[in-house]
Amino acid sequence: MSKNKFNKSWMKKHLEDPFVKLAQKEGYRARAAYKLKEIDEDANLVRPGQVIVDLGCAPGSWSQYVGRKLKVPGSDQLNGTVIGLDLLPMEPVPGVHFFQGDFREDDTLAKLESLLQGRGVDLVLSDMAPNLTGVAVTDAARVEYLMELALDFARKHLKPSGSLLVKCFYGSTYNGILAGFRETFQSVTVKKPKASRDYSAEVFLLGQRLRDPA
Q: Are 142 and 130 in contact (CB under 8 A)?
A: yes
Buried b (16+ CB within 10 A) or exposed e, 45-65: bbeeebbbbbbbbbbbbbbbb
* Separation between Cα atoms, residue 134 and residue 21, nearest integer Å: 29
Instruction: Give residues with Cβ within 8 angstroms of 117, minimum separation 6.
Output: none
Q: What is the DSSP letter of 103?
A: T
**E-assigned strand segments in 32-112:** 51-55, 81-86, 97-100
Q: What is the DSSP letter of 108?
A: H
156: three-class secondary structure by DSSP? helix
Specify the pairing of strand 202-210 against strand 158-169.
Answer: antiparallel
Q: What are phi and psi of 178, to 5 degrees?
A: -60, -40
Catalytic residue among 25, 167, 191, 192: 167
Catalytic residue check, 167? yes
Supply the residues annotated as catalytic.
167
